[in-house]
Structure 1
Amino acid sequence: RISNRISELEDRLGIKLMERGRGRPGFRLTPQGERVIRVTDELFGSIDQFGQDIVRIKSEHKGHLRIAIPDDVLNIPDYKTICEVITAFQSSASDVQMELLAHGVDETEHDVLDGKVDICIGAVFNPRAELEYIPRPSHQCHLYCGKKHHFFKVPDSALSADRIESESLVGAGFKLTPKAAHLTARFPLEAIANHMSARLMLIQSGVYLGFLPSYFAQLYQDSGELRRIHPKKYFYSVDNAIFFAKNARQNSLVDLFIDELVKQTNYG
């Protein structure tokens, strides 16, 4: 019976909700009962709003996220860290299609500015005011020769600056930092390769010297394919970052990825 159900509800709430009619059947809300009705209406309204918000959030985390990565991505020191960020992102946005595009250094900033990619993970040689940067660990580039080069078995002590700087150099093909540009300008520039793997190939040909990130070259150095020349003299540092257009975080997918990045790392 309705009367029994109301009595059970009153017992559970500890509030008298209804006045039972005397003489003839009927019920009348008590002042407390009227207040309970009002807050109940508010509760159901909140539940309905919650459902609408969940639908909106789910729809926000759909779409396409394009991320530019360096062409030597397998060798970068924070490779595993970036993988963990992608894992965390996909667990929150499983319906998002992620596109990873391997780019040379000279392509990344232009593609972000042109809207071809949403986020870039890469080296920063010339920061742009239109972009926002979250720093990553920096790295050093050193001068190398391949095992076919006539310097390969010559000790550093026998290599003067004049002798080294008369050798053909493979350049990066894009604007470097002032220190790097000053250093490479000492050499005759005889070849250009904007991708790391292409630069490595030209160095391994034995015809050219070239600068490579030490983390990238280490494997080839350990295997006897490359030799580092005067490491305390011929080197320069490179800043790294994750960067995007300054208004990009208005895109919920970009914002979510950056949030996961900050949570999973000490970047930013």
Structure 2
Amino acid sequence: MAELGQVGDYEIRLLRVFKTVVECGGFSAAEAVLNVSRSTISVHMSNLEQRLKLTLCTRGRSGFALTEDGVIIYDAVRRLFSQMEDFRSTVNALHVQVSGELNLVASDTISLDSRSCFPDVLGAFCQRAPDVYINFETAPMNEIERRILNDEADVGFIPYHRELDGLVYQPLYEETCYLYCSDGHPLFDLDDTPDRIRARVGEYKLVHAGIQTNPQVAVQLQGLNKAASAYYYETRLAMVLSGAYLGFLPEQYVEPWVQKGKLKPLLPDERVYKLGIAAITRRHGRFNKPRDVFMEVLVQHTRPEFQAESR
């Protein structure tokens, strides 16, 4: 059984000739449209039939007519060129000015963390897509995941403790969290003898995030007196600064208070965990040019060791 091999540019040109001949109703009428002689058209048609190993039309004194195979091929050619035109339009649309809306939602502290380069990312994005209207909100991590999965937001920024099947994660940087106390807490002036602090740390109230955490965090909370919850770092920091609570906080976020002598980490070699910070998008979301451009810009500004880790 004869089979058609690879279709290349030459076959496409022959198919265009065939389509024009059919739509013009014959070789003579197609001469003016194709701007070639009837004999040249005849050669092209013969070459096409040889390549397809089919008889596409009859031509002679009785006039031009498609064979049954010719009718089928003509319908297929129309679909082929329609799909090619759709492809061309899609590609061209990707080069036009990006417009529409971009909905961003972030957990607290991420947008102003120097490691996220967020102001630079937004500036570069606005240069590439000046007509895009940006909505930017803050929400808890679980809410951000839900909104991305439901197509209610385009890009989310979270300290993630799990990877959901419906999301794509682009790591941005890694956060180190220590257990802190303030200068008003009884453990602050305790001699920095690990044994003494270790023996007493479980006696004092701890404020924690109040959400399901990863195993590393869960291990760190074991043996501590979980007496309050505060998801946002800002409110958790306020509770730790009150002197009434201990709490895990990101090292870089609380550095100004450490420098002022208002906070210090307890058992920093033991009471510590790492937390990945990532941008998340929906794995099978609708076509969204503003989101795609934003993610391109974001990756360009991401630290090199994280650029290829999207998963």
Normalising by structure 2, what TM-score? 0.65
* Amino acid paired to 1:223: K
Per-residue CA deviations over 1:13-72 (Å, capped at 9, x if unaligned) read xxxxxxxxxxxxxxxxxxxxx78xxxxxxxxxxxxxxxx889845777211111112211
Residue 240 of structure 1 corresponds to 277
Cα drift, residue 75 of structure 1: 4.9
In structure 2, relative to structure 1, the CA distance for the partners of 1:210 and 1:75 (3 Å cut) is: farther
Q: Percent identity?
A: 25
Q: Of residues 244, 259, 264 in structure 1, which corresponds to 2:296?
A: 259
Where 1:160 maps in the other structure, the secondary structure is: helix
Structure 1 unmatched ranges of 5 or more = 1-33, 36-51
Residues 264 and 73 from structure 1, CA distance in 2 versus in 1: closer, same or farther, beyond 3 angstroms? closer
Residue pairs, 1:194-233, within 5 angstroms: 194-233=231-270
Q: Contact between 1:60 and 1:253, CA under 8 Å: does it hold in 2?
A: no
* 2:193 matched residue in structure 1: 157
Please give the per-residue CA displacement for 1:162-193, whole angstroms capped at 9, x wherever unaligned: 31122110010111110211211311111000
Distance, in Å, in 2 between the alignment partners of 1:117 and 1:249 is 12
SS of the residue 1:73 aligns to? coil
Write the letter of the residue equivalent to 2:146: H
Please give the root-mean-square deviation of Cα atoms over the aligned residues, in Å: 2.5
Following the alignment from structure 1 to structure 2, what is the Cα–Cα distance between the partners of residues 74 and 195? Answer: 14
Aligned to 2:206: 169
**Residue 74 and residue 93 in structure 1: after superposition, are their counterparts in 2 closer, same or farther (change >3 A)?**
closer
Inter-CA distance 83–248: structure 2 relative to 1 (3 Å threshold): farther
Instruction: Indicate yes or no: 2:165 matched with 1:129.
Output: yes
Residue 190 of structure 2 aligns with an amino acid whose one-letter code is V
The alpha-carbon deviation at position 106 of structure 1 amounts to 3.5
Distance 2:91 2:219 in 1: 56
- Match of residue 124 from structure 2: 88
Gaps of 5+ in 2: 1-34, 37-88
CA contact (8 A) 1:125 1:177 kept: yes
Higher relative contact order, structure no. (Cα contacts within 8 Å, ≥ 6 residues apart): 1
Post-superposition Cα deviations, 1:111-167, rounded to whole Å, max 9, x if no partner, equal 212333210122111111110001111111100011111111113206332311221
Letter in 2 for 1:166: E
Distance 1:74 1:118, change over 3 A: closer
Counterpart Cα distance in 1 of 2:263 and 2:143: 27
Matches of 1:263 and 1:137 in 2, distance apart? 14
Question: What residue is the counterpart of 1:49 in the other structure?
Answer: none
1:250 deviation in Å? 2.3
- SS of aligned partner of 2:193: helix
Q: 1:64 maps to what in 2?
A: 101
Moved over 3 A (4+): 52-60
Map of 2:154 onto structure 1: 118
Paired positions, count:
220
Select between 226-235 and 99-108 the one with higher mean Cα deviation.
99-108
SS in structure 2 at match of 1:68: strand
